Chains A and B, each alone.
Chain A
Amino acid sequence: MTESILNLTLSLAQKEGAKEVIVQHSFGPGYQIRFSNAAIDIAKKWDNNTLEVFLAIGQKTTQIDILDPSPTKIREAIPRTMRFLRKMPDSELYAGMEDRVLAYQQLDGLYDKRVEGLYEQAPDLVNGAINAALAAGAKRVAGVLYFGSETVELQTSYGFTGSYKHSYYRSTIRSFVDFESSGQQVVVGRDLTDLEKKLTNAGQKAGKLAAMAVGGRQGKAGTYDLIMSPTVGANVLGEITNSANPLMILMEMSPLKDHFGEQIAPENLQVIDDPHISEGLESKPFDVEGTPTAKTPIIQNGVLVGMIHNTSSAKIMQTESTGNSALLDIGMGSKVLAPETTNMVFSKGEQTFEEIVADSRKPTIYVTSNWYTRFTNMLEGEFSTIPRDAMFLIEKGEIKKPVRKLRLTDNLLRMSKNIIAVGKDQKQIFWWEVYTPTFISTIKVADCRLTAATQ
């Protein structure tokens, strides 16, 4: 059935005059359980089933999504979209797609079949995590558990056909002792082995952090060394590595444009875009053009060395595609074929979290979670973000007391250059505030600016 849908779409598009065509069918169930106040608020199931079609004639491009695709819907949509395509002017972003049929390797570990029946036990798993948080000292617990599976099938007008199936889970657990004392943990992956234990551990850790945050007072604004948990580092430093993207550079949404080849981080830091980690939520064997995916170095020995590409951006910048092509939404109605990150992996350091704390002889702030990162100027990397959940003042190598109500107001490249410690506690982060799956450890940055409300 699916194969005939792909074939039908492709042949119809070509018959209507499309010179280059991508047809990608993604389908599978998705589930979510949301909870707050230590009780489940709602359990959801989505029947996801979308056919994405990219069409090009020369540099004219357009695309359409067909939900629950059927031959009838396809026969109506393709001619209509082709009529629209002929009216489009040439796109400066489009210089062609993958025109070779390259062999790709299936990735092991992307799919755990146990996910298909998980919805039956999931409410109990969530209630178990809630109870673990309560036992660790929390008075209230909120969070979310997502899980599901997806089959992706791709066919292009250059003869590529490929498919893969993957599953996923991700959970955020936030515990509260009182309204202002909270702690959060994030658990992400594909392998369901010991999921119950992973969720319970996360519940315990979140509860413990919340208990440690009790009694926090307004922090004093000023310059501090800053220890960022993996959750915070994934958001703040992820803003740098995610913008190693030609589309963002073209739109002046990246601070990296003039810094390739420069030392932007310490020599012991490596960052790669890695689509081949089985537990990575964006791992895949090929991109939307059928180009096999590959590991792409972004930062090597602290030097900004590369960016991700698709065929068009690579041609425009006279290099090779890195297999990062995707159809990206711009507004409600349209998408563009452009590069997109997969999983961003920051190298591990050698210190434990405890050693990083013990080494902190200057006044240091430890931030466990953050949200609402916004920019005054994306080209300059001028931003601020708000610590949320447990935050602590460290003095003379010891966690001294919980603090609250501070804002990190700084510059992205200044911070990356000032990294002074990288932990070995690497974990994958993906949650409400981090949209690129990011493998990252605790990271310490010297001389960061923390501000507070004036009145």
Chain B
Amino acid sequence: MTDGQEIADFAIDFATKQGAKYAEARFEETMAEGYTTRNGVMIGGGKKNFAGIGMRVLTKEGMGFCSTAKLDKDEIKKAIKIAVKMARASRRKEPIKFSEEKAVQAKWQTPVEEAFEDIADEDKIQFVQQIDKTLMEQEFGSALVTRTLILDLTRNKKYFTTNEGTKIESEKSLIAFYTFNTAKGVFGTEQRFYGQAGAMGWEWFKKEKILDKIIEDNRALVKTANLAKEASLGVTDVIVSGEVAGIIAHENCGHPSEADRILGREGAQAGESFYIDLLEKGTLGEIQLGSEVVTIIDDPTLPGGAGFYEYDDEGVKARPRFLIKNGRLNELLFNREFAAKFNTQSNAAARAIGYNREPIIRMANTYFAPGKFTLEELFEDVKKGLYMKSFTEWNIDDRRYQSKYVGLEAYIIENGELTEQMVRRPILELTTKGIFGSVDAVSKETEFPYGTCGKSDPAQGAPCWMGGAQLRLRNIRLGGGK
């Protein structure tokens, strides 16, 4: 047992003695490493190791949280005493309850063939610089006037324990690569923030052909700056890629599915959810939110997924969550507190992004489930339409109903075939129901781009995949309402 584990076990014993009816401690050790270049020249690089412990206590009057990097029993005692005192002073009329969950003893880790720590620092530096050089060697390279490349590597080890008997050890390796590039073309500049990440070792780059993806993405950026023209398409059919479908799955379905938002806990931060309106009138499994072909899953167990985990940060075993099934609202995202409010079990959606953050309800890897068509078959039935392959700007209201996605790489579809005619910055400004109700076909192929999901205060940026199948949306008015 490590010192951190011993301190965590001590913490829950002490918190229980202080009167906490529930106590948990999460000891985390993190190794983080990052390299950043601008136009091929290194501008930042560093490595850091840190460790700390976060503790949550529940009393009948309220909940307290404390964290410290000082792994000393006297300091832990002081921190817990204050957390318990503040929890009691909260004087809630309605006590917080947790759903009953089985105590678990388990260990898990992401499979790693080649640990990033085993790659020499010089090789990592050269690796990032070489990617920049490779981009410049492409036929479009000179149009990429400003390039920022970031390699981010993290290993996070956790020991989670509760006074209910749960003890879980875990280790997750996450490799991420980002580009923020500006292309200059005949129609001005276009910018793109692009990220890929996987819960693997260094082998991720080769297995997932990340360099090829980066080159293709930048080729499209330059092409857009040179060829995309304003177009007024009126009401038209729109086919979106797995990347665009993924951000829709995340923003229009994943976030409103979070039970803490539905019941208002994020009211002053990430906002609430329009699902509350639906749940006041109907029940899960019956509420029709989209067409029959819409199925959206959030799955923490997807191998290699940036949001991968086997047990959540409350010790509940992870499983896929079918948020929308055949167009109907099927399942919400729960932690133990909100599962109890809905009189159900947690489905393991509690995540904390560091030892000094409370676990809250989060997505993991959210995606549109595949359908039965190839991409070409989706095009076949479109007389005149738009194919939106990637996006730039996006936002959505805090009830998750009014969304906007601005296309980057986008083409005209004519008589069932994709043309080379590019459209400049087409806008999907649609309600959630407007999107899900317009989908009439879904592709077999899937893709899983990366995103950092933002929520809570203080902010907790959680690594997630957001992707899935391509979608065909019928009769969409582009360009935002006027």
A-side residues, CB < 8 A to B, are 31-34, 36-37, 39-47, 49, 61-68, 77, 80-81, 84, 87-93, 119-120, 122-124, 127, 140, 142-144, 172-174, 176, 179-180, 184, 221-222, 250-253, 330-336, 371-380, 382-386, 388, 405, 407, 409, 432, 451-455
Contact = CB atoms under 8 A, between A and B. Distances in A.
B207 interface: no
Contacts of A77: 49
Given A143-B268, A144-B457, A221-B480, A333 B67 contact: no
B451 interface: no
B83 A45 contact: yes
Interface stretch (B103-111, B362-370, B423-431): B423-431
B465 to A, nearest CB: 18
B398 A388 contact: yes
B268 to A, nearest CB: 4
B399 interface: yes
Given A41-B63, A42-B65, 13 more contacts: A42-B358, A43-B87, A49-B69, A93-B38, A122-B89, A123-B90, A179-B274, A332-B33, A333-B34, A377-B392, A453-B429, A454-B429, A455-B431
Contact of A454 (B121, B267, B434): B434
Contact of A376 (B65, B392, B403): B392
Contacts of B263: 37
A140 B152 contact: no
B64 to A, nearest CB: 5
Nearest to B33: A333
A377 B392 CA distance: 8
A64 B92 CA distance: 42
B396 A372 contact: yes
Nearest to A221: B481
B131 interface: no
Sorted from nearest, which 5 A-B pairs have the closest CB atoms?
Answer: A333-B34, A142-B267, A43-B86, A334-B46, A334-B34
A36 B268 contact: yes
A452 B121 CA distance: 50
B133 interface: no
Contacts of B434: 453-455
A41 B358 CA distance: 12
Contacts of A127: 91
B220 interface: no
Nearest to A127: B91
B244 to A, nearest CB: 15
Q: Tell me which of A41, A336, A375 has the highest count of chain B C-beta atoms within 10 A of its own C-beta.
A: A41
B189 interface: yes
Contacts of B68: 46-47, 68
B107 to A, nearest CB: 24
A334 B35 contact: yes
B458 A41 contact: no
Interface string B4-41: 00000000000000000000000000001111101001
A184 B271 CA distance: 12
A47 B69 contact: yes
B444 interface: no
B45 A334 contact: yes
Contacts of A253: 180
Contacts of A40: 62, 90-92
Interface string B394-428: 11111101111010000000000000000001000
Contacts of B34: 330-334
Interface in B54-72: 62-71
Contacts of B50: 65-67
Contact of A336 (B43, B89, B276, B402): B43
Nearest to A378: B191
A374 B63 contact: no
B267 A46 contact: no
Given A91-B42, A179-B276, A407 B429 contact: yes
A453 B269 contact: no
B189 A380 contact: yes
27 contacts: A41-B96, A42-B64, A43-B64, A43-B83, A47-B67, A47-B79, A68-B70, A84-B46, A90-B41, A122-B86, A173-B268, A174-B267, A221-B480, A330-B36, A333-B48, A333-B153, A333-B154, A375-B191, A378-B191, A385-B395, A386-B396, A405-B401, A409-B480, A432-B268, A432-B269, A454-B430, A455-B476
A179 B90 contact: no
Q: Tell me which of B36, B176, B396, B479 has the highest count of chain A C-beta atoms within 10 A of its own C-beta.
A: B36
Interface string B267-290: 111011010110000000000000
B265 A41 contact: yes
Contact of B63 (A43, A62, A90): A43
Interface in B170-217: 176, 178, 180, 182, 188-191
B52 A67 contact: yes
A335 B431 CA distance: 39
A451 B480 contact: yes
A376 B90 CA distance: 43
Contacts of B85: 119-120
Contacts of A62: 45-47
B480 A452 contact: yes
Contact of B36 (A184, A331, A432): A331
Contacts of A250: 38
Contacts of A32: 457-458
Contacts of A378: 191
Given A372-B396, A376-B393, A184 B69 contact: no
B62 A43 contact: yes
Nearest to B123: A87
A142 B481 contact: no
Contacts of B93: 39
B481 A180 contact: no
A276 B47 CA distance: 34
Contacts of B41: 89-92
B301 to A, nearest CB: 24
B121 A140 contact: no
Contacts of A377: 189-191, 392
B51 interface: yes
Contacts of A45: 64-67, 79, 82-83, 86
